[in-house]
Amino acid sequence: MAQQFTYETLLERVVAIFRRAGMNEVQATALARVFVSGERDACKSHGVYRIEGTLRTLKAGKVKGDAVPRLVDDGGQGAVVRVDAGGGFSNAGFELGLPVLAERARALGLAALVVNDCTHFAALWPEVEAVTAQGLAGLVMCPSYATVAPTGGRAPLLGTNPLAFGWPRPGGQPPYVFDFATSVAARGEIELHRRAGKTLPEGWAIDAEGNPTTDPEAALEGAMLPFGGHKGSAIATMIELLAGVMIGDLTSPEVLDYLGTTALAPFHGELILALDPAKFSAGRAGDPLARAEALFAAIEGQGARLPSQRRFAARARAEAEGITLSDDEVAQLDRFLELGLDALD
């Protein structure tokens, strides 16, 4: 027997759990929003499943649940907006910075939001979608922890370093959005293969000696591989440079050193670029949003799919029929609400 929630009732429940665990309102609300959005979009690996990891990271003292993010003013002149997340979750920092980022991007044509000193434990698409809701294109990236070997290498160094992009679409349509790891697979997928006793597809991982392996145990002791060979490896390295060293925050190997484990949510920074199609196309023929629709129609017209369509279909279903959690999931939420951090082993 499962239980139904609306977005709002589930949000209220998750916020209450986070408050019970000692998080302040701004942290609890921002993080709950992205997990409930994940659940709504049938993106289970980024849904309420993540609450437990959040509580573990809080309990380990590796994130500040009561942090108040702070806008670091540059005098309002530059294209770089900086938020000091104060050791809290990235999401509260992002929510604080977004209106300033959008205003600056509309004024200058493009702008960047840097979120420093944050724990990042959510998908990037909620942030990309929030940028597109401002009529802007968005590009978001962050490191993770060292679990991926560079192409030609033999040991974990790069993170799964997600890259996400969004483009606004007219007429109330959901935006064009992609959000993916720059590793072939997510670490969770390897763990799922291990639990199911299945071998991995070729090309996902290497063992501790640097040799290709399809054994999930050996892969977890070795390293994952970047998607697309040396090209994906180069993109993952770029993300270390831009969203790690350039913004003065930790790279994936530094994150792993800091945490000492991949069982807690990673602590690092995040880079968000916002670009204004109206400014970039000013004085040129054609409306960029209309021209983008023609491109999307041509892609779909030949039988290819736009990314995120399954997620948007799930969202439409959830908005009509509610979000369904299993009895086990509801029981776990109840336990977290009752016991707070004591619910953890």
**Residue 214 Cβ vs a copy of itself, minimum distance, rounded to whole Å:** 19
Q: Which is nearer to a copy of itself, 113 or 318 (CB)?
A: 113
**Residue 177 Cβ vs a copy of itself, minimum distance, rounded to whole Å:** 9
Beta carbons of 233 and 151 less than 8 angstroms apart: yes
**Structure token digits, residue 5:** 């929630």
45 is catalytic: yes
Pairing of strands 323-325, 267-275: unpaired
Catalytic residue among 39, 127, 129, 189: 189
**Structure token digits, residue 70:** 């702070």
120 is catalytic: no
Half-sphere CA count of 142, side-chain side, radius 13 A:
31
Query: Interface residues for a copy of itself in 223-242 (CB under 8 A)?
Result: 227-234, 237-238, 240-242
308 is catalytic: no
Q: CA–CA separation, 159 vs 165, rounded Å?
A: 18
Pairing of strands 110-119, 80-84: parallel
Ramachandran angles phi, psi of 177, nearest 5°: -140, 130
Q: What are the start-end ranges of the H helices in the chain?
A: 7-20, 25-40, 50-59, 90-108, 125-132, 187-196, 216-221, 230-240, 252-259, 277-280, 288-301, 309-321, 327-339
Query: Interface residues for a copy of itself in 33-62 (CB under 8 A)?
Result: none
Residues in contact with a copy of itself, shown as a per-residue x/- string from 177 to 206 under the rule CB under 8 A: -x-x-x------------------------
Catalytic residue among 45, 319, 326, 338: 45
**Residue 122 Cβ vs a copy of itself, minimum distance, rounded to whole Å:** 20
Contact pick of 22, 153, 212, 322 for a copy of itself (by CB under 8 A): 153
The answer to whether 72 contacts a copy of itself (rule: CB under 8 A) is yes
**Structure token digits, residue 17:** 């759990």
Q: CA–CA separation, 177 vs 131, rounded Å?
A: 11
The answer to whether 111 contacts a copy of itself (rule: CB under 8 A) is yes
Q: CA–CA separation, 185 vs 225, rounded Å?
A: 8
**Residue 59 Cβ vs a copy of itself, minimum distance, rounded to whole Å:** 27
Contact pick of 145, 167, 204, 267 for a copy of itself (by CB under 8 A): 167
Query: Interface residues for a copy of itself in 267-306 (CB under 8 A)?
Result: 273, 275, 277, 279-286, 288, 291-292, 295, 298-299, 302-305
The answer to whether 165 contacts a copy of itself (rule: CB under 8 A) is yes
The answer to whether 118 contacts a copy of itself (rule: CB under 8 A) is no
Beta carbons of 69 and 92 less than 8 angstroms apart: yes
Site residue total, a copy of itself (CB under 8 A): 74
Residue type (1 letter), 6:
T
The DSSP bridge partners found for residue 275 are 110, 137
Catalytic residues: 45-46, 189
